[in-house]
């Protein structure tokens, strides 16, 4: 079974709007990571948040982590057409496995 599950499965927004996606997981983690995948390509790392951190920023990205609720969110502010991609959360489990969810497909229209 998958550890991380993203919500929503798909998201369609216009340029300039914010995009928010969520990730829930089931067991204790070392850290949680977010990745982006453009169609047919490999994944690219966006941000890593450790289990003792609550919020992290990187450019237009903001990630939160709530370990009591076993959930994380990724916010992309002022979205651009180039942000169109699939976004995945990955949980680094105690014991070393890094497990991915099924992803959120984001489409940003001009």
Which stretches of the chain bind other proteins, using CB under 8 A? 2, 30-31, 33, 35, 40-45, 48, 50, 88, 90, 92, 96-103
Task: Return the number of the residue (12 or 28) whose C-beta is nearest other proteins.
Answer: 28
- Residue 109 C-beta: closest distance to other proteins, Å: 22
- Residue 22 C-beta: closest distance to other proteins, Å: 15
Task: Return the number of the residue (73 or 86) whose C-beta is nearest other proteins.
Answer: 86
Question: Looking up tokens 């289990």, which residue turns up?
Answer: 51
Reading the block at residue 74, the tokens are 């990724």
- Residue 80 C-beta: closest distance to other proteins, Å: 22
Task: Return the number of the residue (59 or 110) whose C-beta is nearest other proteins.
Answer: 59
Reading the block at residue 9, the tokens are 């499965």
The number of residues in the chain equals 110
| 74 contacts 23 by C-beta, under 8 angstroms | yes
- Residue 26 C-beta: closest distance to other proteins, Å: 13
Task: Return the number of the residue (44 or 78) whose C-beta is nearest other proteins.
Answer: 44
Q: What is the DSSP string of 63-102?
A: EEEETTTTEEEEEE-S--GGG-EEEEEEEEETTS-EEE--
Reading the block at residue 38, the tokens are 């453009």
């Amino acid at each position: 079974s998958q550890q991380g599950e993203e919500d929503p499965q798909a998201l369609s927004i216009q340029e300039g709007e914010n995009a928010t996606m969520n990730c829930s997981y089931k067991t204790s983690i070392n850290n949680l990571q977010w990745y982006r995948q453009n169609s047919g390509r490999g994944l690219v790392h966006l941000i890593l948040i450790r289990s003792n951190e609550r919020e992290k920023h990187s450019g237009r990205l903001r990630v939160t982590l709530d370990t009591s609720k076993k959930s994380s969110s990724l916010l992309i502010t002022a979205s651009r057409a180039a942000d169109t991609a699939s976004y995945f959360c990955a949980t680094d489990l105690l014991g070393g496995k890094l497990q991915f969810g099924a992803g959120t497909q984001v489409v940003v229209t001009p």
